[in-house]
Structure 1
Amino acid sequence: MSMPKWSKLTIIGTLMGTCFTAGVYAQDLIQRVDAYLRNDYNIVVNGQQVKLTNPPLIYNNSSYLPVKELSTYLGAVVNWKDSNKTIYINSRISPQQPTEGNNTTYTEIVLQVPYAQYMDYLGGTYPVLTNMTDQTYYRLKDVERMGIDTQGLRKAKEKYTGDLYVSEAELQTKWKEQPQISYLMNEPVVITGETNDLKRKVIKEYIDGFRYYEINKVPYMTTPIIVDALPEENTYSYLLTENGHFYRTTLKLTKLMTTNSTMDYVVGSSSKEDIQVTKVQ
């Protein structure tokens, strides 16, 4: 195997720079190697040729591929946790996994003590809605977002929202480690499916503005449970309690152009449904 001399020197120089920087902290953990970048190599994943941003690296007659980039083609998620210097590679649920049929019979549960929190699992941090009844239940779509295969587990349907849940006892047979509460993500309003920081900020400010208000001298106290981004852009489902009742509100963001020509958003409209009353009727 031959490579132009300059390519080889570039790699060595890069690795030497890395070793020099990190060697102060862990000289015995970092090793300088003689390797080659192969831009001429083709990569075929499941029969389809793909173009990686970072080319394969050849070292000691073995090929090394960028794991995070390759994982996107393999349906996996790669997480890096600096605290224990660990790379987590987590396979995702197969898209071919059977979905729940219309004739599936579920155990019925009712929202009693629902609360949303961020949980650490296999190097990643995920928003999860849980519900305490006679036992702890996790909302199904949050569990699947974590990459846990729920096929074959017994599901329960929540009476008011229609959401599916899985009990902690069932999940213990599937998860690869016990999820832990993430104390680094201590947010009073948990939002799923939205990564835009500005949109998240606007939603949180709107919710905080209606935690307590009065209409005709009647006080209303609101406690947010969770906000889920919907498929329609800038549309969200907001689950909350108000004066002891569960409500589901649809929030819609509207774009604004500020005086200094920067983008902003406001909650342009919302609709609120008392799901306890609606589902009982």
Structure 2
Amino acid sequence: MKKKWITAGAAAALLMSTSAGVYAGANLQQIQAFLDPSIKFKVNGKPFQPQNDKGAALAPITYNGSTYLPVRAISNALGVAIDYDGKTNTIFLGEKQDGVPIADSAGGDFRTKDPQLTTYNGKDYKYVFFNNSSGRRSSGFMLYPKGKYQKLYLQTAAVGKDIEEFFVSDSDTDTKLKIDKVNVSDGLKTYEIDISGLQTLYVHADLQEGGNWFVPLTTSYYK
């Protein structure tokens, strides 16, 4: 059922919430269709009302015996990430084929391009988050996927001492998406985390005296 909804949603690309200017140069074909607010929806057994990005109710369109649903509203209801590329006039649903490095959306201190700090096990990662302060401490940084991606593939390593607690959370709801302990012996670990529809993430680690935290920002990525 989910795939059918997504397919129908993709056909309704014109209803995607975006600026009117996006379609100024598009090759559009005029049709006669009808809004049908009488159609009701349920998602996983619960009533669902399609809405635009401002929270206003949207009615499905009926055309030639088929019902077309708003892409963004359905993607949000089904937990499928959505993004739009105005240059290619392409809507992306779910994971992207190519990974997008988190480097541009990472915030916080301890980001560095210093070659003395960006190398781990003989490989230079060019741009990293590296907390090498002293003492027992908590450390973290923000990520801003802005609802555009389905998955986060995050690499992290404990240097010197094990990381007692590591987690990634949805900062808007304070919901932890992944919790783990990172050992030095683990090497560089990669976590696959479902982030569909999430706007802002918080990545956190509790560090011991003599322990450092290494996160490559170029090989950690969204999809």
TM-score with structure 2 length normalisation?
0.41
Larger RCO, structure (CA 8 Å, separation 6 or more): 2
TM-score with structure 1 length normalisation?
0.34
Richer in helix (by share):
1
Q: Which has more radius of gyration?
A: 1
